[in-house]
């Protein structure tokens, strides 16, 4: 049976201790936080997990924690990482043994104008990870290839193991519509990206899931559930209230995610390995205002179990 993904699938950040090492205890806390917030699945590692700043051993140790916490509760989607098709296939196969049910594979930037190369890349990854359901991640440059919908449809048609496409090349909305119109029958659905900054448009166009960052999973779940139940006005209200914070996230990315998780009592620090800008006093004042404005719609109260 093919996996069935839907709803909010947060991409988990990688927590680091003050010594710079990965923090497995904090990883357990953020996974539990997202499950308690109503997430339909957990994604790790992804671009928002700083996967390109983790060793293979670190990724596997963190993924083992995520799979253990999620076991028998919600599915885990593993990121294939970077490298050759053989290396990505090996990562996916190891993740499967831990309990991950789906793998997400990013088509790298080198195939930006090379549909046949991108298709061969995906086929090679799948050959090296047999029996695994695949999400094709289409991200814009400089991260990914940013392929158009017609190219994606042909690539998916050539590989029946590709059951989903995560579309985050802008403008994502028209691409989602075009892909849904042209995709082969075995494609289960299209998943939204872009940090949920376009979530209402993605749902309007029939996206079956979204993969935002993890810091306001409870709000995103409430937004998704309201829309799916027909209360679009409530979903739009939640979207408008959350959007200013997500705009700030476009600049600070994982640092913003970890900063908010720290404020919410999930993490003890907001340390990142990726080269991202720092917050100054003006940023922190604005973030305090944004968090205060969202406090009444956050479903999870701050916890006292943050990692040391």
Helix (H, G, I), strand (E, B) or coil at 213: strand
pLDDT at residue 137, as a whole number: 97
Tokens of 235: 């979903």
| Helices and strands (H and E) in the chain: how many | 11, 8
d(CA 222, CA 224): 5
Tell me the pLDDT tens digit for each residue of 86-120: 999 999 999 999 999 999 999 999 999 999 999 99
Distances (CA, A) of 75 to 173, 255, 282: 26, 26, 39
CB 140 within 8 A of CB 169: yes
CB 16 within 8 A of CB 271: yes
Distances (CA, A) of 298 to 140, 220, 239: 31, 10, 13
Tell me the pLDDT tens digit for each residue of 212-253: 999 999 999 999 999 999 999 999 999 999 999 999 999 999
pLDDT at residue 301, as a whole number: 61
Average pLDDT, the chain: 94
For the domain made up of 7-240, give the CATH fold: TIM Barrel (3.20.20)
Close Cβ partners of 106 (under 8 Å, ≥ 6 residues apart): 47, 79, 80, 82, 137, 139, 143, 144
Tell me the pLDDT tens digit for each residue of 136-156: 999 998 899 999 999 999 999
CB 125 within 8 A of CB 137: no
* pLDDT, average across residues 289-299: 94
pLDDT at residue 299, as a whole number: 81
Q: What is the DSSP string of 82-116?
A: SS-HHHHHHHHHHHHHHT--EEEEE-BGGGTT-HH
Q: Where are the domains of the chain?
A: 7-240
Helix (H, G, I), strand (E, B) or coil at 159: coil
Helical axes 56-70 vs 24-36, angle rounded to 10°: 40
Tell me the pLDDT tens digit for each residue of 9-29: 999 999 999 999 999 999 999
Query: pLDDT at residue 199 above 70?
Result: yes
d(CA 151, CA 159): 13
d(CA 307, CA 8): 24
Tokens of 139: 């991200």
Q: Can you give the pTM of this predicted structure?
A: 0.94
Torsion of CA 54, 55, 57, 62, to 10 degrees: 0
Query: pLDDT at residue 305 above 80?
Result: no
d(CA 185, CA 290): 43
Query: pLDDT at residue 33 above 60?
Result: yes
Query: pLDDT at residue 1 above 90?
Result: no
Percentage of the chain modeled with pLDDT above 90 = 93
Tokens of 229: 């139940």
Query: pLDDT at residue 307 above 50?
Result: no
pLDDT at residue 100, as a whole number: 95
Distances (CA, A) of 147 to 32, 113, 192: 35, 8, 15
d(CA 179, CA 168): 12
């Amino acid at each position: 049976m093919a996996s069935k993904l839907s709803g909010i699938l947060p991409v988990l950040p990688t927590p680091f201790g003050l010594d710079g090492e990965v923090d497995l205890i904090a990883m357990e806390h953020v996974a539990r936080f997202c499950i308690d917030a109503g997430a339909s699945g957990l994604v790790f590692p992804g671009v928002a997990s700083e996967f390109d700043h983790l060793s293979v051993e670190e990724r596997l140790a963190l993924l083992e924690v995520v799979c253990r916490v999620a076991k028998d509760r919600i599915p885990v989607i593993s990121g294939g990482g970077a490298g050759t098709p053989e290396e990505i296939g090996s990562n996916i196969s190891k993740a499967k043994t831990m309990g991950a049910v789906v793998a997400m594979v990013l088509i790298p930037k080198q195939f930006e104008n090379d549909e046949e190369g991108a298709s061969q890349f995906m086929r090679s990854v799948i050959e090296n990870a047999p029996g695994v359901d695949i999400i094709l991640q289409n991200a814009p440059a400089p991260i990914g290839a940013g392929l158009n919908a017609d190219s994606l449809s042909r690539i998916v048609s050539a590989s029946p193991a590709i059951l989903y496409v995560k579309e985050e090349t802008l403008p994502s909305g028209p691409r989602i519509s075009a892909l849904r119109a042209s995709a082969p029958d075995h494609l289960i659905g299209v998943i939204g990206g872009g940090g949920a900054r376009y979530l209402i448009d993605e749902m309007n166009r029939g996206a079956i899931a979204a993969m935002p960052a993890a810091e306001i999973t409870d709000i995103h779940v409430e937004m998704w559930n309201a829309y799916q139940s027909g209360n679009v006005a409530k979903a739009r209200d939640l979207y408008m209230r959350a959007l200013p914070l997500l705009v700030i996230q476009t600049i600070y990315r994982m640092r913003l995610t970890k900063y908010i998780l720290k404020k919410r009592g999930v993490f003890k620090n907001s340390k990142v390995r990726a080269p991202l800008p720092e917050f100054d006093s003006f940023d922190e004042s604005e973030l305090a205002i944004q968090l205060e404005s969202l406090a009444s719609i956050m479903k999870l109260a701050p916890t006292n179990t943050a990692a040391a």
